[in-house]
Every structure is written in structure tokens, then in C-alpha cells.
Amino acid sequence: MKYSTTAVRLYGKEDLRLEEFELPVPGEDEIFAEVITNGICMSSHKAAKQGEDHKRVPDDAADNPVIIGHEFAGRILEVGEKWADRFESGQMFSVQPALMYKGSLDAPGYSFQWIGGNSQRIVIPNEVMEVDCLLPFDGDAYFKASLAEPLSCIVGAFRAQYHHAKPGEYEHEFGIKEGGHCALLAAGGPMGECAVDFALNSDTRPSLLLVTDIDQERLNKVKKLYPVEGAKKKGIELVYLNPNDLPGGAESIEDYVGDLTDNKMMDDVFVFFPHPAIIEQGDSLLGRDGCLNFFAGPSEQDFKARLNFYNVHYEGHHLVGTSGGNKDDMRIALRYMGEGKLNPAGMVTHVGGLDSAAETILHLPEIAGGKKLIYTGVSMPMTAIEDFGVKAEQSSGDLAEVYKELDRLCRNNQGLWNTEAEKFLLSCKSLKM
């Protein structure tokens, strides 16, 4: 049997090529699989820009190009004998790319010739299974499993929070404080949306959740996705706040939060935008034994902000930072999505086919919105979900009908990408690559 694929391969700096090529016949310790979806990550843009200078891209990529993309999900086709007792044909899967196999930084989507997200078919090497990074998914849509990797970053951030188990003792309890006060600052973007979703639906929940953003349009979108009334039914007081428009005559956000919490302030604060003023604001909102999580990754290596070390000493304030999630975080994300507790659809703002992947990766910072999702078996321009209706009017023939139906399906689902839209897109024979 001939094993082949069509994929986007990285040859060097800004050198991405969509090509059809043969894959090696999978060995007894490997797995042959079909990729259905891949999320475009800023890390892929960085790898494409840096080429062989990137720490995960091989020095010989020009001669042995790698398949780019690490937020992928798909279906297992064939299982080598070594792994036949753990995996089977037809299983849905996702991959945790941070293998750390024998200390190596090599990762699917950066370092391998035969496995990566922007490919129709892949050969999953033995090391992925050896470190338990091939993760089965029992859910209703591939795009959800594809977004498990970015969602795992939120899970990891919440798990990294810690507090003293008892006053005066040095034992720590990890996770946000059960029934406590939690604030998500500058949380109007896709990752902030996921954090709201997780805070409302995880096994450990706050009693008060404050969500802020100075962009009122973004804040309104989050509020529409996660209404105050729905949170109240879960026993959570959900408050949305634009710090530039404080209600009730409050002179500062600190005064507002003090009134909101009877001056107990916040147990857990997450910062979703790398700006010193927001970090300092988060620090000022902490109560006793409060934990500040700097989630947003800055690009400047000398990035700094001021912290109140008087409160570190006397009030027990502490700081954590998380970057990415591990395989346990991904398992939690996949389980929650499989159980219907979490839906990462709010992250997705654009959808396209494999033939749009290279341009999207190279120009990602220039494309507004959230997550860009690739369907590897589809030929389609990268398109904003909110533009489906316009594209239907501008297009003709089968493509116009496709856009029209996608627009209908998404409008019926709060303007979000969804399982029915995915199934319809995958069924469109006219868009097959």
C-alpha cells in the first residue's frame, strides 16, 4: 500500500511549501493517522520566521523539511503491533507536542518530517506514545480536540495557583481557592474567554468571578457567551467590568473591588495582557494569601513591573507564571470537552482549508481575531466566521452555497463555530483537496 500525504512543510526562514509526498510505511512501533483539524498558533509563525534558528527546528530543515503545526486532532487509521493493546483504528485523538523525550526539545509540528498538524496524513513516531502524549478524545467534534492544547494552557494556569492550607503553616494547596474570589484581568480575548468558561465549569469554582477589559466590545462578547444569569445558577456571582467606566461613583478599581468583597479583595488574579499597569493593578487587588498569575507572555526579555513587597511580606501575597500546559492539563481539557462541560468554540474566529495554511502562518500577526482553524482535507480561503454571509454574496456556484450554509449554522449558534458546521464542511465534496 502507498502511504502519501499533502502537507505544508518548513524548509527554512519564511519558506513554507504546500506539497504532496510519500510517507514511509509505518513500523510496528508507529501509528498511521489522518489529521482533520489544526489550529494556527503564534508559535508556528515564530518557527516559520526563524527557520533553522528556532530552538525546535532542525538545522538540516532545508534538506529534510518538517511538517509545521502542533495544535492538531484527527483519527487513527492503523496501529503498529507494539501499541495495539492501547489504541485502535477509528479513535479520535489529539497530541501533546511538548514531548521532552529523553530531554530533547523536538516536538511534532516543529521537528519531524512525518508528523505535524498541517498535513492530511501522518506517521506518529514511537516516542510520542512512549511519553504518553497521544491522547484519545471521546467527543463530538475534531476542532474541540484540536484546541485542547491551547485550552490546556488555561487548565495549567488554574492548577498552578496556590494558597496556604492553614494560616501559620507552610503546606500549600494548589488550584484556585474553592468558593473564593477570582479576577480575570484584560480577559476579553480568546484565552480570556476560555478562562471564564473554565472558571464557571471546572470542578473547583469561585463564589465571585470578576472579568475585566477596557475594550467594551470584547467585554460585551464575553458577557453574551457567558451571561450573569447562567453563572448565578451555578452559585457564582459573575461581574463584568470596564475599568475605564467604573459604576457607582467608585474612584478606583481597588475601591470598587473593596466594596464588592467587603474589603476581602481577591484570592486569585490572572493577568491576560502583558502590560506593567495591568500587573500592578492585579497586585493591588489581592487579599491576604492572594495569588497573582501572570498568564500573558511578553516578547521583551527585560519586561518588568512593580510589585508591593510590603504585602508579600505581611499579607502573604505570591506570584506564579505559567507557559503552556502539560499532558495532564490536556487530559483534563479533553475530558471536560468530551463531557460537554467546556466548549472552546469562542476561541475560533477564522476557518480555512489546507491551501490557506502557509499564508496564514506567515501573516498571522496581521490577521485580527482569535484562533485560525485549518481543515486539512478542505480547499478554502482563510475566512472570518463573521464574513461568511458576505462571502456567500460575493462568491458563486458551490462555494456560495457553502458559505451561505456555514453562515446559517454559525448564526444559529451565537455566531460561533460549532459541531454542525464542522460536519457540514467535511461533507462538502466540492471543497475536497
pLDDT class of 169 with cuts at 50, 70, 90: confident
User: Which amino acid does the sequence have at 219?
Assistant: L
Q: What is the pTM of this model?
A: 0.89
Helix (H) or strand (E) holding 333: helix 327-338
Q: What percent of the chain has pLDDT over 90?
A: 90
Mean pLDDT of 262-280: 97
Q: Comparing 1-146+343-433 with 152-321, is the CATH topology the same?
A: no
Q: What is the spatial distance between Cα 276 and Cα 306, in angstroms, rounded to a whole number?
A: 7
Q: What is the spatial distance between Cα 421 and Cα 408, in angstroms, rounded to a whole number?
A: 9
Q: What is the spatial distance between Cα 67 and Cα 113, in angstroms, rounded to a whole number?
A: 6
The rounded mean pLDDT for the chain is 95
Q: What is the spatial distance between Cα 353 and Cα 399, in angstroms, rounded to a whole number?
A: 13
C-alpha cell at 223: 458577557
Domain spans, the chain: 1-146+343-433, 152-321
Q: pLDDT tens digits, residue range 17-49?
A: 999 999 999 999 999 999 999 999 989 999 999
Please give the pLDDT value at position 324.
Answer: 80
Contact 377, 433 (CB under 8 A): yes
Q: pLDDT tens digits, residue range 239-259?
A: 999 999 999 878 999 999 999
- Number of DSSP helices (H) and strands (E) in the chain, helices first: 15, 19
What fold does the segment set 152-321 form as a domain? Rossmann fold (3.40.50)
What fold does the segment set 1-146+343-433 form as a domain? Quinone Oxidoreductase; Chain A, domain 1 (3.90.180)
What is the phi-psi region of residue 249: left when phi exceeds 0, alpha when psi lies from -120 to 50, beta otherwise? left
* DSSP one-letter string for 210-275: EEE-S-HHHHHHHHHHS-HHHHHHTT-EEEEE-TTS-STT-SSHHHHHHHHTTT--EEEEEE-S--
Is the pLDDT confidence value at 124 over 90? yes
Please give the pLDDT value at position 145.
Answer: 96
Name the residue among 332, 364, 360 with its Cα closest to residue 151: 332
Count of residues in the chain: 433
